[in-house]
A and B are shown apart, each in its own frame.
Chain A
Amino acid sequence: MSIAEYDYTIIGTGPAGMAAAITARKHGLNVLVLDEQPAVGGQIFRNIEGLEKYRNSEYHKLGEEYLSGSKLVQQFRNSGVVYLNGRSVWQIDGDLGIHHVSTIPTDQKSSVPQFCKTKYLLIAVGAMERPMPLPGWTLPGVMACTAADVLYKSSGMIPQGKVILAGSGPLLLLIACRLLDAGVKISAFLDTTPRGALIQALPHLPKALREFGYLKKGLEMLWKLRTSGIPIYTGIQEIEALGNSKLEKVRFKKGMKHSEVSADLLLLHNGVVPNVQITRQLACDHSWYDVQRYWEPIVDDWGNTSMERTAVAGDCGRVSGAVVSEISGHLSALDTVRQLGAITLNERDKLSRNLRQSLQSHKSARPFLDKLFQPRQNQIVPNKEDVLVCRCEEVTVREIRETVRLGFQNPDRLKSMIRCGMGPCQARMCGLSVSEIIADEKQISPGEVGYFKIRSPIKPITIGQLAEND
């Protein structure tokens, strides 16, 4: 049986992935696009086609940025790529063989796993939320704040009952405003951004003012929140989710005072971090970005990683938002087109000039935002020792600290001792926290501690699927 071979395979259909596909196709490449989601758009443009078709009035309320995504989607749909939705990449070989399988359960015909080869690979899988371990965070009724965004966009659902938003970061603000627009009554907004954060970020403000649009949007959201009547608490610490078998109350500390409010839904957010699961499986080199406390793949100006013929674009490289992601997708594809010989170096540089200018401009607010919402260690490392850090294997802060004190400070050694990172999520929910706790114990940077070795399967597949012939 012959194996399909593509010039360019892109994983992810957010703005970065779609942009790269469009550019690659313009230069005649044979392109495969894979996405584990059933529809295009990534997170930011989630269900954009469904919304436009079935919920048009809501679609128009989602704002200019969201609507601009439709244009990109249309170009993507017309570009002539081979687009496979609902396909989960479970392993990528060193020579860029791509193993993928359907995300739909195995009793359907589409469950036969597939394999293809590609000359060049673009990883555009976007970002995820930084895990925010705190007491009671595993209680039903506690969710990551993007869950509310997904449920609204994909399913038109809004939360009922007492809804509390807690954490820090522009996304929390965005979600709060979206919920307000949808008519949700938010019970409280608990802002954990430390006092003094603005002052520390001020040196970057002049640069940020170059793209005033971002700041303007932020200020508008802040204004909307402040005039909404929602109780807003700032400088919050020590958040706890309380309840028996589900969330009932939220406790928090402001200054010296502890308060408790009743709650049905607690939406948490502590920043956005690149999803490095695939780049880690490929053993790309990563570096520690200290301001925002996450690992990012080491790339050149075109997104090329330390692995041959493999690039990243969008938020899975450095978290910079939708517009920057889109531009980086175009740029990365241009360089790949050049590497494949379809254009010369000069042509590439000529074609990318405007894009680069636009990129610099749209990135100018980022240093300010990254510094303003710089996570502090005490927001990431829980102060209570029986907080679950590894949700899958139920490993606590205490167990991690005790094991480090026994001399096991390497994440993989730690993992073999106490099982943190061994569950189905393969450390997506605990990896950063584990490195931070080890770093705290040893008084070194998490960058020095390192991260778990990530192995295939990137997403689970069955033994039967593994055994089947391609």
Chain B
Amino acid sequence: MINENAEVVVVGGGVIGVSLAYGMVKNGAKVILIDKVDNRLTASRGNFGLVWVQGKGKGMPRYVEWCIEATEKWPEFAENLENESGFNLDYEKTGGLEICLGEEEHQERVNFIEEMSQASSSGRYDCEMISLKELQSMIPEIKLGKEVSGASFCSHDGCVNPLNLLKAMSSSFQENGGDYRPEQLVQKIEYSSNSFKIETGTHSFNAKKIVLACGLMTTKLANMVGMKVPVIAERGQILVTESTSRVFNYPTGGIRQNYDGSFMLGGSQEAVSNNIETSYEVLQNIAKRAIRILPNLKNLQMIRSWAALRVLTPDKMPVYLESDQYPGAYAITSHSGVSLASIHSSNLVDWILEEKIPLGFSSFHPQRFNVQEAI
């Protein structure tokens, strides 16, 4: 067993773990990042790359504010990260669309946006319905389908290349003295004299703080340090097309055109937790809906498809928790690792390193699930 020491050990090499590790080394902390490297757990490498507010946080206004704050920090976060790492993030903050088909979807959207706007105590939530005519004028180079009835437009929204985000933060983390340890699987966590000993089979990592950002493994590891963090897997499938001239300049939840001109189509949800295979039915449904929205997509070739497992809490909103029983142990899980990268690498790092607890943070405590169960 090789013994190693650090100030903080971050467990989990996905976008959340890497964001936290990246933010911490920039604050001068000595960080070891442990990564299991499991190719079935690919949420961070299989997502749509949205930097998104619209549609999230219904029922938890605090979370909506958190998302808005994250998107406001994103431009500066992106610029700094690009300058440090030398990698392009292809980040765009154009505002985002959710396109509606037919009257029923349109009305549902109207109601939803209304509710969200009303619930926004700060009044910062900026999302409005736009007409079909307005929508077409925003994307003049590509024709909308006959059933398109309008859309909601949210100025906070944008998109990024999520793979480059991970690459840039990983690179910057290591450049700033961070220690990345792949192929390490946490087997045991012990606590004594205010210090954690994390055993992986080959190594024993010792640190004052341990941050668990291990996606679908969070429940198991959090349990080792006295925390109850329920997570649920949900499969999503995505397909990507050949590159074509850039004509669709706003991301939506189910269709976006990447910087290189390829279209990504997705937006599916399945209660599947144990495999990342694609299925014909789901891919076909994705394709069908996409063509109803943008008929010209039918001539583009699909060249790749994949599936990944989203990491969701019971209400799909983050859990940020410090163990009561073992102070210094943290569990962090969220579905929106990409959108929240800007705030995870700053506000959460301040919380972990300097105990600066963000306002209204108790909203993110998992005891809210017990309350829900009780009701």
Contact = CB atoms under 8 A, between A and B. Distances in A.
CB atoms of A and B under 8 A apart anywhere in the complex?
yes
B174 interface: yes
Contact of A99 (B280, B288, B290, B297): B280
A456 B278 contact: yes
Given A463-B241, A463-B297, A417 B167 contact: yes
B303 A424 contact: yes
B283 interface: yes
Contacts of B288: 467
A97 interface: yes
Contacts of B298: 462-464, 467
Contact of A453 (B39, B181, B239, B287): B39
Given A460-B302, A462-B302, 19 more contacts: A91-B280, A94-B277, A407-B35, A408-B182, A409-B182, A410-B182, A413-B39, A416-B163, A419-B163, A424-B303, A453-B39, A462-B298, A462-B299, A462-B301, A463-B241, A463-B290, A467-B284, A467-B287, A467-B290
A375 B241 CA distance: 36
Contacts of A419: 163
Interface residues of chain B: helix, strand, loop or mixed (majority): mixed
Interface string A406-424: 1111101100111100111
- Size category, B interface: 35 or more
26 contacts: A93-B280, A97-B280, A406-B174, A407-B174, A407-B181, A410-B39, A410-B182, A416-B163, A416-B166, A417-B163, A417-B170, A418-B167, A422-B304, A455-B278, A456-B278, A460-B303, A462-B298, A462-B302, A463-B298, A464-B287, A464-B297, A464-B298, A466-B287, A466-B302, A467-B287, A467-B298
Contacts of A409: 182
Contacts, number: 95
Given A407-B182, A467-B288, A467-B291, A455 B306 contact: yes
A168 interface: no
Interface residues of A, number: 33
B26 interface: no
Contacts of B305: 455-457
A34 interface: no
Secondary structure of the A contact surface, majority rule: loop
A460 B242 contact: yes
A462 B290 CA distance: 12
Interface of A: 91, 93-94, 97, 99, 106, 283, 406-410, 412-413, 416-419, 422-424, 426, 453, 455-457, 460-464, 466-467
Q: Which one of A93, A94, A416 has the greatest number of beta carbons of chain B within 10 Å?
A: A416
A460 B304 CA distance: 8
A464 B298 CA distance: 4
Contacts of A463: 241, 265, 287, 290-291, 297-302
A364 B155 CA distance: 70
Interface string B33-46: 00101010010010
Contacts of A466: 239, 283-284, 287, 302
Contacts of B241: 463
Contacts of A422: 304
A419 B166 CA distance: 13
B336 interface: no
B313 interface: no
B342 to A, nearest CB: 21
Contacts of A407: 35, 170, 174, 180-182
Interface in B264-292: 265, 277-280, 283-284, 287-288, 290-291
